[in-house]
Structure 1
Amino acid sequence: MQEITMAAAQDGAFDLDRAMDEHGTALLRLCTLYLGDRALAEDAVQEAFFRAWRAGGFRGEASEKTWLTRIAINVCKSYLAAPWHKRRVDAAALDTLLADTPDGTDDTLIRAVLSLAPKYRAVILLHYYEGYKAREIAELLHMRTNTVVSQLARAREQLGLMLKEWYYDEPV
């Protein structure tokens, strides 16, 4: 897989179909969790792949997955910053996301993660849902590794407080 990616980087060609097959599901999951709306996430992933294709291809400076993830995060950030998004009803978006979870699944954790501030939500999603290390998250988000580690710690602390009763079955 890496050989194909490096060969494509050397040729300057970007195999959009292969990239969509390999990374589409992971990007859709990330964008859905980042934006809280499945339909909006589908649009974001489509735009991310379009931007990758329009860029002329992958240069090989990082892994292809990292490159596409960075593009998808930038698309999500631009969606969240748009004036029309600020006027949306977030409860309806959350219900759309939770409708995709299997019946009987406890959605407390998802709700808690989505209620975090965007900077904390981003590092939690990239670390726990996408499996990136702090150093990789720092590269993706263009910040220092120590900042990522601090944000992860603060996010875990906030989640711990929100989920204390749920996780430990103790009254707060």
Structure 2
Amino acid sequence: MTPQEHLRRVRVWLAVFLIGLVLAGLTAFPLVTEVTLLHRLTADLPLPADVHRWIDTVHAGITEMDARYPFLAYGTDWLAFAHLVIAVAFLGPLRDPVRNVWVVQWGMVNCVAIVPLALIAGPVRGIPWWWTLIDLSFGVFGIIPLLLAYRHIRALTATPAAAPATA
């Protein structure tokens, strides 16, 4: 594989990761709308009773929070903003993956760090096990494009530099 092909693949995998990161960030802003829509769309679906109860609980909590304590949504606004800022950090590896490989490594570390956070904070906050698995999937699915990009970055670093042109 040529260095140009490795570079193209790095950029494709980083773009996949970036799209997911930006979408995750943007969807953290309209929580009330999203949860209300989820509540309506799943009301008549043949889902397990535990799933319906959880969606009902989340819907009640989010709508009451919005009505009585809207300032609490400011925390999820910052969560959304953090996703977008992290996405900006990945513009460096898009431009120069070899020099900015540390950003990709940092992203992989953060994907792994999702596991203990979800496994510890989930039960502490009363999150159902099946929802914790969904949270864990962000780390599992997030690390895949980063690992693939990292593999191609390592191949780029192993490629000998082009010989300088002679006069």
- TM more than 0.5: no
TM-score (norm 2): 0.26
**Which of 1 and 2 has greater Rg?**
2
Q: Please state which structure has a larger fraction of its residues in helix.
A: 2
TM-score (norm 1): 0.25
Bigger relative contact order, structure 1 or 2, given CA contacts below 8 A and separation 6+?
A: 2
